[in-house]
Each structure stands twice: as C-alpha cells, then as structure tokens.
Structure 1
Amino acid sequence: MIDQALQLVRDRLNDHLRVRFSVAEDLVNLSSLTDADGKPAQAARNRLALFLTNISRDAVPRSRPGGGAGPVAQAQPMHVDVYFIVASGHDADLYGEGLKLISAALMFFQAQPVFTPQNTPDMPPGLSQLTVEVSNLSVDEISQLWSNLGGRYVPSIMFKMRSVLIDAGAVAGVTPTITAPSQRAEAEAV
C-alpha cells in the first residue's frame, strides 16, 4: 500500500504541474536523488524527486469499520504515517526552476491536503483517505537527515502522509460455531 500511496501522490502532483506549467512530460519522479553508487540518479535529473524517508506507526487509535462479531476474527489493520521528501534534482544552472517547482508542489499540497475517493477517483482500492501535511524539521535535523541520506542538501521539503492502511486480511483466530448443546447445558436442564 505504501508504494500505491506514493505513486498516487506523485501522479496527482504531476497532473497539477503539467496543467500549471503547460508541459506534457512528468516533472516529478518517484526516485531517490542518487543511485546505489552515490551518483546522481538519472530519473531525478532536472526533475523533482519524491522519495520515502521514514515509516512509523500512526499513534492515533482507530477502530475497524464494520468490525462485527463472527466466527472468524481478523487481525486489526495497522495505520502508518509515511514521511516523504520532494526535492529538486535540478542542475546548478536550473536552480531557479527547481525552486519554482518546489513552490508549486507546496501550493498543491496546501490546496489539496486530503485525498479521498470522492476527490481522487483513481484512488487504489484499500486506500480510503490520505492526508498530507508539512513535517517541520530544525536545521540540525535537516543536516542530520541529508547526512544520513548520503547526499548534499538540495532544495526540498518533507511531508507526512497520514493513515496509510496496512491490512493483510490475516485471520487472527476462529471461534467455533455451536452445533449441539454442551453436556453441561444438558445436565442443567434436567
């Protein structure tokens, strides 16, 4: 589900940027800024890169809709928060273009912070609602994050996407159905 949630966000952001800047190509790729060897990733060159930085369990308790009792008990789904960065992979001579795209991305998420099947008809099954908000980091946290990512800082902003639902539909237990009265019930009836 995490991959589908990030792809959905990337696709909606691309749709917005294509219309806003009257371009045909995608301006955002789901890609890290560097490849496995630490070299700039070709998919992120002169584009915005959208990449995962953290996954954490959502601490807000939720109940399963329509939970109901029955003979089969399913494991409770897990809600996770997905942190992602939108970063400029633009060459130095296109630095201003990168800033322009980061600003447009920020305005997009400010205007549409909630994704639901009503406002996002192509939302994948299993995703009922996603909210996206800016995740503020201090200068020290930004420095540490980029150091951990193994790269140099580029213009970027981190977002927190709330409530990605992880539900394997796993059976947690089966309650046997009663097919005949128990011996105890028969003895009490006598």
Structure 2
Amino acid sequence: MIDKCMDILKNQIHQYFKSIPDLNVTSNETVSVSPLVKEDGSIVIPKDHLGLTLINIEEEKIHKAQTAVHKTVDGQIMHMNPELKINLYILLASNFNTYATGLKFLSACISFFQSKNVFTAANTPDFEPKIDKIIVELHTMGLEQQNHLWGYLGAKYLPSICYKVRMLIVQEGLAQDQQPGISETSFEGMGITAEVNES
C-alpha cells in the first residue's frame, strides 16, 4: 500500500509539472521514488529529477480504531484486529544540474500541494482501490532537525521540503473467529424475551 501511495503522488506531481509552460517538461518522468543515497554516500536521485523519499512511518494515535467486532452481510459476527492507521513522512529533494532550475521545480511542487492536498478516487485517475484517501500536509522542520535528518540519511543537503501524508488504513481482514449473531435472548422461568440489537 505504501508503494501505491508513493506512485500516486509521483504521477500527480509529474502531471502538474507538465501543465506548467514555464517548466518546459518534455520527459516522461520528473519525479523518482528512490532513496537519497547509496551506501557510498553518492546521490541516487537521477539528475534533473525531484526525489520522493519515505523518511518515517508513524501510527495515527488520535484516530486510532478500537472496534474488533464486525458484522457480515449474512448476520455473522467476526472478531479481527482493529485496523491500523499510519502516517507517512516524505521528503522531496531537488537534484537538478542548475540550482535555479531545482528551486523552480521545488516551488512548483509546493504550489501543487497547496492547490490539491486531498487525493481520492473521485479526483485522481488510477487511484488505488484499497486506499480510502490521501491527505498531504506541509511538515516544517527547524534547522537543527534538518541537520539531524540529513546526517542520519548520510547525504549532503539538497534543496528539499517535507510533507506528512495521512492516513493510510491497513486492514488485512483476517478473522480470528466467526460466530452466528444473537438475535433473541430468553430468560427461562421469568417469561421474558429480549430482542438484541446487533447494529
């Protein structure tokens, strides 16, 4: 699912770049999903590309799912682990032959996410069916945080911007057990019958 999310964003950014005459995009690809560097520290991002790199994954705790019981269409009750909601932190780094051109493409990327920060099947062609929606938010890092990040990644700084992508929902749908639903309960000897609402 993470790979599909990254591909969606890569393709959408590239299509936006193609729509801007000032960028003069003639290639089939301007954004690459890739790590920043190889083991020897050399840059992996192709020349004249923006690199789209996953730098962190976190669990979404504020909207954490708690429901472990699910009702099927035929009235069966299934127990399965609650769905997992995750956020991604992505880095868009500019690796262009000229510094000014790199800044131009990075600025266009910022403009794109300002104009469209929610991606769904309704507004995005070839959207992944397993993904409900993608919400992209600017994630600002201070100079000290950036210094730690680039040092941790083992790369020399490139003009870049960080975004938080939320929320991907992971639900494998494997039931731990499945039982018939309860529709009626009788209290013998008391003459009481109670209907149980399963919804």
TM-score computed with the length of structure 1 as normaliser: 0.85
Unaligned runs of 5+ in 1: 179-184
| Corresponding residue SS for 1:44 | coil
Contact 1:83 1:160 in 2 (8 A): yes
Cα separation, 2, equivalents of 1:117 and 1:64: 26
Cα separation, 2, equivalents of 1:44 and 1:75: 41
Amino acid in the other structure paired with 1:128: D
Partner deviation per Cα, 1:75-123 (whole Å, 9 max, x = no partner): 22111000000001123xx111110000000000000010011111311
Q: Which residue of 1 aligns with 2:60?
A: 58
Flag the structure with more relative contact order, 1 or 2, with Cα contacts below 8 A and sequence separation at least 6: 1
1:101 equivalent in alignment to 2:105: yes
1:31 CA drift (Å): 1.2
1:39 equivalent in alignment to 2:42: yes
Contact 2:60 2:167 in 1 (8 A): yes
Cα separation, 1, equivalents of 2:146 and 2:106: 16
Matches within 5 A, 1:1-190: 1-20=1-20, 21-25=23-27, 26-41=29-44, 43-61=45-63, 68-69=70-71, 70-91=76-97, 94-175=98-179
Cα separation, 1, equivalents of 2:145 and 2:65: 34
Contact 1:31 1:44 in 2 (8 A): no
Pair 139,186 (structure 1): closer, same or farther in 2 beyond 3 Å: closer
Amino acid in the other structure paired with 2:84: M
Cα separation, 1, equivalents of 2:43 and 2:18: 24
Contact 2:65 2:84 in 1 (8 A): no
Unaligned runs of 5+ in 2: 191-199
Contact 1:18 1:27 in 2 (8 A): no
> Percent identity among equivalent residues?
27
Instruction: Flag as ranges the 4+ runs of structure 1 deviating above 6 A.
Output: none
More helix by share: 1
Cα separation, 2, equivalents of 1:150 and 1:86: 16
Pair 115,177 (structure 1): closer, same or farther in 2 beyond 3 Å: closer
Cα separation, 2, equivalents of 1:150 and 1:137: 18
Contact 1:88 1:155 in 2 (8 A): yes
Cα separation, 2, equivalents of 1:33 and 1:186: 67
Contact 2:52 2:91 in 1 (8 A): yes
Amino acid in the other structure paired with 1:123: F
| Corresponding residue SS for 1:133 | strand
1:170 CA drift (Å): 1.8
Contact 1:86 1:156 in 2 (8 A): yes
Pair 133,187 (structure 1): closer, same or farther in 2 beyond 3 Å: closer
